[in-house]
Amino acid sequence: MERYPFAYDPSQPFIPQVSDWVADVFYEVLPEAGFEVRDEQIYMAFQLERAFIEKQTIFAEAGVGTGKTLAYLLYAICYARYTRKPAIIACANESLIEQLVKPEGDIAKLARHLNLTIDARLGKSPDQYLCLRKLDEARFQPETSEAFQHIYQELPSFVHTHEALQSFYPYGDRSTYPDLDDQEWAQMNWDTFQDCFVCDRQHRCGQTLSRNHYRQSADLIICSHDFYMEHVWTYEIRKRGGQLPLLPPHSSVIFDEGHLLEPAAQKALTYKLNHSVFEETITRVLKGEIREELAIAIEEAIAQSEEMFSRLNEESKAVMGSNRKEIHFHPELIATIHRFTNLVSWIEEELALEGGLYTLDEFQLRIVEEHLEMMQLALGLFQDPDHVISWMSEEITGPTLVVMPKKVQEVLEERVFSQKMPIVFSSATLSVDGSFKYVADSLGIEQYLSFSVASPYEYDKQMEVYVPTLSATDSFAEKMSQASQLLQKSGGSALLLFSSMEELQQFKAAIKNDPTCTDLRFLFEGDAEISHLISQFQNDEKSSLCAVSLWEGLDVPGPSLSNVIIWSLPFPPNDPVFTAKRKSAANPFDEVDMPYMLLRLRQGIGRLIRSREDSGLVSILSPQLSQNDKLRQQVQDVFPAGVEWKTSLDGVLA
């Protein structure tokens, strides 16, 4: 196989030669294959040239239908081969990853029409793989044993035996089990409380085997934002532990739907503390020969940990519209934490002494010491609410304290943006009112290139907008009535977007009792693996898909999606993360809520028109738009120019 898809002259700069080839691809090769030449796509390609030459960060805002994926893939593949290091394509979520690598996706199209062999491999997040230890527990639970027992029996034979290494292959990712709902999957997938270091099946684990596979990619590794940030955050820790980083050295990074990187970065920098995990970890020490004084202190620490997490749970209250519970810093709670951390500090010192006596297993001791160090660091941060965000959540292992830094800019600057390599943020929605400041500031990016190109579609001819007048007194009943009429008009073929899972579940319960919709088929996020639901939706023109996470990335051209119903304006959730942002803003609504909502709304609107042949309706069911003229105007400005708002269903979807 030729290294480059063009004749490379080593005496000349490399990237300009790539640009010449890209011009040939867009002006000659792809048009001959039936692709339309798009000025916006070509403009974007040559803007990317500068980012790769200067190894800079670039915000590449390109409207729907621009073909931005093809543009960045051409540069990324060539540059990967030039540097002999793969490019990383980091997508906002797993469904976006699936769409990129599906048989009819952009990578497959590029390979086919350019007669290129593209080595593209998936680097899925750990929680997208089953955990053999959790599966063992699940298959012996009386109420679920049959289903999980079947999954266990279908595992590759090498999981249970000791076959030769060459017979190993990756297995057990989420898409293999499309019919499991999210709750069932959570009973058997990897989670942050799994201790892979001491798992005796680590080298036969599907997650480990997939990691060995994707690391060998020559061209592209496709992963999620979450996974890339996990790689950044654990890089030094894994190296200290004698492990390879999650991702190999790479030549460039493309953040697809890059406006969503900040929450992924915060999630990766999050600490999760749990009593069950603490108890399981620290009791490893009791299996060795230790002094009685230390053993008593460990037993006391376990008791104090149980008390601390119990009190944390008691001092927390549920937040409407969020699965996170807000913590109230009661003096007794602070005192309990101090008692616990002081005892753990003493245990850490004693363990260092014990380790010098060589009475404990060195590997087990290191695991305990690292866990205690992490707990002390997290609890220390937790007691400084000015710099962190914290909440309680309910995990399978019990009440869990989550501690997250308020700002991630310093970490990103040091470990991502200071690296001298091309970094591309690609999205249809990176700017607010023509400025990239909101996204750049949230990520701590001071120097960057940027450009915007509009969509080539004729929205004024292809899109209708319906915004009914709703009252605030009984808006749910009114919304149900409007949604029912809209669904009947389109005969399904609808994407219903909700701002929270609570909204979706409320609609799900109500629509089952709506006699006018009994003949319609609904698919609900959470009932099965998301890419499986998307495939069902795409292949069944009369189905309707109800989702919380598909405001961006969903690409379903054609008649299967002709009706987008936005249940409510997608303002940020009422949870501790955004509460903290609001508290630090001079004008919380204008600085936090509105930019977030407008970016997300633009993405949701963009799900409707995915080709020049598409047409359909976007409806927004929000009483706020009837009561607030300024808000109404701001939302109206988000829509493409020339698209008319309608307040009556007469003539809509005619």
The tens digit of pLDDT for each residue in 12-46 reads: 999 999 999 999 999 999 898 888 778 888 899 98
- Decide the pairing of beta strands 543-547 and 57-62: unpaired
**Which of 313, 235, 309 shows the shortest CA–CA distance to 279?**
309
Residue 291's pLDDT band (cuts 50, 70, 90): confident
Q: Is residue 384 pLDDT above 80, yes or no?
A: no
Residue 517 near residue 484, CB atoms below 8 Å: yes
Q: How far apart are CA 458 and CA 608, in angstroms?
A: 13
Mean pLDDT along residues 376-382: 87
pLDDT digits (tens, 9 = 90+) for 167-199: 678 899 998 999 999 989 999 999 877 877 778
Q: What is the pLDDT of residue 297?
A: 93
Order the strands of the 616-620 sheet from edge to edge: 521-524, 543-547, 494-497, 563-566, 616-620, 463-466, 645-646
Token pair of 228 as six digits: 């890339």
What are the beta bridge partners of residue 402?
272, 391
Q: What is the pLDDT of residue 365?
A: 80
Q: How far apart are CA 180 and CA 532, in angstroms?
A: 10
Average model confidence (pLDDT) for the chain? Answer: 89
Mean pLDDT along residues 131-137: 91
CATH topology of domain 459-646: Rossmann fold (3.40.50)
Mean pLDDT along residues 398-411: 84
- Report which of residues 116 and 579 the model is more confident about: 116
Q: How far apart are CA 578 and CA 389, in angstroms?
A: 9
What backbone torsions phi and psi does residue 405 show, to the nearest 5 degrees?
A: -65, 145
Q: What is the pLDDT of residue 219?
A: 97
Q: How far apart are CA 43 and CA 608, in angstroms?
A: 24
Mean pLDDT along residues 264-283: 89
Tell me which H or E stretch contains 282.
helix 275-282
Q: What is the pLDDT of residue 132?
A: 93
**Which of 201, 129, 131 shows the shortest CA–CA distance to 162?**
201
In total, the chain counts a number of residues equal to 654
pLDDT digits (tens, 9 = 90+) for 603-632: 999 999 999 899 999 999 999 998 999 999
DSSP E strand stretches across 503-615:
521-524, 543-547, 563-566
Neighbours of 445 (CB within 10 A): 19
**Token pair 């109420």: residue:** 143
Return the biggest CA–CA distance within the chain. Answer: 84
% residues pLDDT > 70 (the chain): 97
Q: Is residue 246 pLDDT above 80, yes or no?
A: yes
Q: What is the pLDDT of residue 163?
A: 62
Establish how many alpha carbons lie within 13 A of residue 533's alpha carbon, considering only the half-sphere containing its beta carbon: 25
pLDDT digits (tens, 9 = 90+) for 209-244: 898 889 999 999 999 999 999 999 888 878 877 788
Candidate from 208-212, 318-322, 584-588, 636-640 with smallest mean pLDDT: 318-322
DSSP line for 445-507: --S-EEEEE---S-HHHHEEEE-----SSSHHHHHHHHHHHHHHHHTS-EEEE-SSHHHHHHH
% residues pLDDT > 90 (the chain): 55
**Numbers of helices and strands, H then E, in the chain:** 27, 19
Instruction: Tell me the one-letter amino acid at 279.
Output: E
Report the sign of the C-alpha dihedral through residues 163, 165, 166, 169, in that order.
Answer: positive
Residue 103 near residue 455, CB atoms below 8 Å: no
What backbone torsions phi and psi does residue 35 show, to the nearest 5 degrees?
A: -80, 150
Q: What is the pLDDT of residue 588?
A: 92
Mean pLDDT along residues 309-331: 85
Q: How far apart are CA 524 and CA 509, in angstroms?
A: 11
Q: How far apart are CA 236 and CA 242, in angstroms?
A: 10
Q: Is residue 650 pLDDT above 90, yes or no?
A: no
What are the beta bridge partners of residue 121?
221
| Cα angle value 126/128/134 (rounded, 5°) | 80
Q: How far apart are CA 650 and CA 645, in angstroms?
A: 13
Q: How far apart are CA 543 and CA 545, in angstroms?
A: 7
Residue 319's pLDDT band (cuts 50, 70, 90): confident
Q: What is the pLDDT of residue 465?
A: 96
Residue 266's pLDDT band (cuts 50, 70, 90): confident
- Decide the pairing of beta strands 120-123 and 220-224: parallel
**Which of 397, 391, 266 shows the shortest CA–CA distance to 319?**
391
DSSP line for 144-156: THHHHHHHHHTS-
**Token pair 């339309």: residue:** 36
Instruction: Write down the domain spans for the chain.
Output: 271-405, 459-646
Mean pLDDT along residues 504-514: 95
Please list, in sequence order, all residues whose beta carbon lies within 8 angstroms of the beta carbon of residue 583, skipping any fewer than 6 positions away.
none
